[in-house]
Amino acid sequence: MESKDFLKSLSNKTGVSGTEEEITKAVKEVFGDYIDESRTDALGNLITLKRGEGKESDKPQIMLAAHIDEIGLMVKEIDEKGFLKFTTVGGIDQRTLVGQEVLVYGKEVVKGIIGAKPPHVQDKKEQKQAIKLKDMYIDLGRNVKEVKGLVEVGDLIVVTREFCDLEGNRVSGKSLDDRAGVTMVLECLKELQRLKHASDVYGVATVQEEVGVRGATTSTYGIVPDIGIAIDVCHGEMPGVSDEETANLGEGPVIFLGPQVHPKLHKKLKRIAQEFDISYQIGTSTSPRGTDAFAIQVTRSGIPTALVSIPLRYMHTSVETLDLNDIKKGGRLLANFISQVDSEFVEGLRCF
């Protein structure tokens, strides 16, 4: 399957943190052509394995982790007129919610819209402020009896948004954070089909990243890799945001440096990019808790970790936007890195 088709398929599916089963099934089916085995752990992480050609006694173990869960909403109250009050699952940009079409996953999937008090009837103070989540509601267009027959407190809600093509290699959709990262893992596995590699490669589609990097914590603990690489998204350039806080779409993956990144892995990834003429960018992160890299690094007695990201605009909205070339370049980078890892390199990671 082509990368764009795969990403489109994942983006259009629903998998709010804690309910990723549909996404797991889709990823497992496509990854199956490029791996030797797969399993799902107790938390729901999909753990796939492509075996390397090295000796079993000293074969390096490399883990590639990208999360499949998405941010969403949850019903917390049904009022006396049948309007739904809701809360968030993960970090949603609340400013973007009013006027959105949604799907409520109750006893059946129900369409609705997010509404709020219109400016015509707001007082002057309200007109100057962003609408707060507590003042929003979901209108299902049904009476209270019908609503209560279909929906319960705790039901999940997602914004309705179809994946779409923009100009050139640019695409937009929901949950590209981080199903684009999963797509980069697929590109890596495809590239490894034509390369020799000594290492066993674990491609892990992690769950519940958006609510505390939980999937990466448990999957890393179970695998105990010699090297862990988190693949996620970072902020792409856009108006109003400084250059030092963003990366450029279409100019390659971002190789991050920070306290969660092993310096020798960072150096090796840069050298591989240069050797194979893969365009790349450098990013810095001094707040490591925002990606699976944090969970990987501090598992058990510590795992040498790297972070590779895809520039993405409008993060945590339903119109996240990226360039497909960055995913493909990232896949090449990871595959060529893996092909050059041996037991001697892994041993050297223990000495800073």
Q: Are residues 102 and 217 in the same domain?
A: no
What are the structure tokens assigned to 327, written together? 């995913």
Per-residue pLDDT tens over the stretch 271-289 = 999 999 999 999 998 776 7
User: Cα–Cα distance between 298 and 99 in angstroms, integer?
Assistant: 41
Torsion over CA: 168, 170, 173, 175 (sign): positive
Q: Give the mean model confidence (pLDDT) for residues 129-151.
A: 94
User: Is 144 domain-assigned?
Assistant: yes
Q: Are residues 125 and 206 in the same domain?
A: no
Residue finishing a domain among 136, 159, 182 = 159
What are the structure tokens assigned to 83, written together? 């309007």
Residues sharing a CB contact under 8 Å with residue 194, sequence separation 6 or more, in sequence order: none
Q: How confident is the model at residue 245 (pLDDT cuts 50, 70, 90)?
A: very high
C-alpha dist (Å) from residue 146 to 46, 104, 141, 178: 38, 14, 10, 36
Query: Between 119 and 290, whose confidence is greater?
Result: 290
Q: Are residues 36 and 178 in the same domain?
A: yes
Query: Mean pLDDT over all residues of the chain?
Result: 95
Given this model, what pLDDT does residue 288 score? 66
Residue 22: how many other CB atoms lie within 10 Å: 13
Q: Are residues 53 and 86 in the same domain?
A: no
Per-residue pLDDT tens over the stretch 163-181 = 999 999 999 999 999 999 9
Q: Are residues 181 and 330 in the same domain?
A: yes
Q: Give the mean model confidence (pLDDT) for residues 69-92.
A: 97
CB 194 within 8 A of CB 10: no
Residue finishing a domain among 105, 130, 159 = 159
Which of 174, 147, 161, 157 lies closest to 87, judged by CA?
157
Question: H/E element holding 198?
Answer: none
Residue finishing a domain among 130, 159, 188 = 159
Q: Are residues 96 and 214 in the same domain?
A: no
Residues sharing a CB contact under 8 Å with residue 196, sequence separation 6 or more, in sequence order: 53, 339
Q: Are residues 196 and 300 in the same domain?
A: yes
Q: How confident is the model at residue 124 (pLDDT cuts 50, 70, 90)?
A: confident
CB 206 within 8 A of CB 299: no
Tell me how long the chain is. Answer: 352
User: Is 32 domain-assigned?
Assistant: yes
Residues sharing a CB contact under 8 Å with residue 309, sequence separation 6 or more, in sequence order: 231, 232, 233, 234, 247, 253, 254, 256, 283, 291
What are the structure tokens assigned to 166, written together? 């923009």
Q: Are residues 218 and 320 in the same domain?
A: yes
Q: Hey, which bits of 97-220 come out as E strands?
A: 101-105, 109-115, 137-139, 156-159, 164-165, 170-173, 200-206
User: Is 166 domain-assigned?
Assistant: no
Q: Are residues 201 and 280 in the same domain?
A: yes
CB 220 within 8 A of CB 291: no
Q: Give the mean model confidence (pLDDT) for residues 82-109.
A: 95
pTM, whole model, 2 decimals?
A: 0.95
Per-residue pLDDT tens over the stretch 217-236 = 999 999 999 999 999 999 99
User: Is 168 domain-assigned?
Assistant: no
Domain containing 344 — which CATH number? 3.40.630.10
Q: Give the mean model confidence (pLDDT) for residues 19-41.
A: 98
Catalytic (active site) residue 209: yes
Q: Are residues 187 and 327 in the same domain?
A: yes
Domain containing 89 — which CATH number? 2.40.30.40
Looking at the predicted structure, is the pLDDT value of residue 331 above 90?
A: yes
Q: What is the DSSP string of 237-306?
A: P-TTS-GGG-B-TTS--EEEESTTS-HHHHHHHHHHHHHTT---EEEE-S-GGGSHHHHHHTSTT---EE
CB 309 within 8 A of CB 253: yes
Given this model, what pLDDT does residue 131 score? 86
| Strand partners for 39 | 47
Q: Which amino acid is at 253?
A: P
| Selected catalytic residue, list 20, 70, 187, 209 | 209
Q: Are residues 281 and 146 in the same domain?
A: no
* Strand ranges of the sheet holding 164-165, from the earlier edge strand across to the other edge: 164-165, 170-173, 320-323
Domain span including residue 80: 72-159
User: Is 85 domain-assigned?
Assistant: yes
Q: Give the mean model confidence (pLDDT) for residues 316-341.
A: 97
Q: Are residues 288 and 329 in the same domain?
A: yes
Q: Total domain count for the chain?
A: 2
User: Is 169 domain-assigned?
Assistant: no
User: Cα–Cα distance between 162 and 141 in angstroms, integer?
Assistant: 22
Looking at the predicted structure, is the pLDDT value of residue 352 above 70?
A: no
User: Is 115 domain-assigned?
Assistant: yes
Q: How confident is the model at residue 54 (pLDDT cuts 50, 70, 90)?
A: confident
Query: Between 335 and 129, whose confidence is greater?
Result: 335
Given this model, what pLDDT does residue 9 score? 98
User: Is 164 domain-assigned?
Assistant: no
